Amino acid sequence: MPHHLMPMLSQIDLQHGTIKDAAEVIVRRLSDMQGHYQDQNAVRDLLQEDPILYRVYLTTPPDHEYQWRTAMSVIEPGKVGAEYYMTKGHFHKDQQAPEVYLTLLGKGQIVMQTHDGQTETQPMLPGAVNYIPGGWAHRTINTGDSPLAFFAVWPADAGHDYAGVADRGFPLLVLEENGQPVVVPNPHYEGS
């Protein structure tokens, strides 16, 4: 008889975007993302307090073929220089693996790119469902003044390739200009 995973139940706190019974909580601080921001003077200044930029609440077991992984991500409000707090961003190791986000709280942007240079940005607002096809790296950015919380679903065996993004960066940045978020080309993007 084949081994079966047991059905699971998780409860999302809809006021805060957290999951009390998460199987794992990943906490990312500025010190975990030093190479991701453009303004290195601002990074140096903020590293003294080393703020938490975001948390990921994972709910289901990883790496099981034919299963789904789910999580809640909560990005805090704030900026490093003119850049808003954001996630590291990643490709999936399985380039065919898609991902879906459902925004529950806050406002932000999702920035996406392919290996061959295509880019796409989409807004993230409560009720928005963002579909990320396979082959697209993705990063989320909190452009509001309250936490951005979204629910994510992806194939459990998709894997994450953070190095591909860390090495080259993203071709687009989301900056605050005159109190508003703007999407601009990344002058330091190293291309494909």
In total, the chain counts a number of residues equal to 192
pLDDT digits (tens, 9 = 90+) for 25-61: 999 999 999 889 999 999 999 999 999 999 999 987 6
Q: How many domains does the chain have?
A: 1
- Does position 3 have pLDDT exceeding 60, yes or no? no
Long-range contacts, stretch 17-22, CB < 8 angstroms, 24+ apart: 17/72, 17/73, 17/74, 17/104, 17/105, 17/147, 17/149, 17/150, 18/55, 18/57, 18/72, 18/74, 18/149, 19/57, 19/59, 19/72, 21/59, 22/57, 22/58, 22/59, 22/72
CA 47 from centre of chain: 21
Nearest C-alpha neighbor of 158 from the set 65, 23, 89: 65
Per the DSSP assignment, residues forming a β-bridge with 151 are 72, 102
Span 104-120, average pLDDT: 95
Nearest C-alpha neighbor of 88 from the set 41, 54, 135: 54
Residue 28 covered by a domain: yes
Range of 118's domain? 12-185
Query: In the 3-class helix/strand/coil scheme, how is 119-139 assigned residue by residue?
Result: EEEEEECCCCEEEECCCEEEE
Residue 117 covered by a domain: yes
Residue 4 covered by a domain: no
pLDDT of residue 169: 84
pLDDT of residue 1: 36
Evaluate the CA torsion angle 183, 185, 187, 192 in order and state its sign: positive
Residue 166 covered by a domain: yes
Residue 58 covered by a domain: yes
Q: Which two tokens stand for residue 4?
A: 């079966």
Nearest C-alpha neighbor of 105 from the set 76, 139, 71: 76
- Does position 190 have pLDDT exceeding 80, yes or no? no
We report the CATH number of the domain holding residue 147 as 2.60.120.10
Could you give the percent of the chain with pLDDT greater than 90? 74
Residue 141 covered by a domain: yes
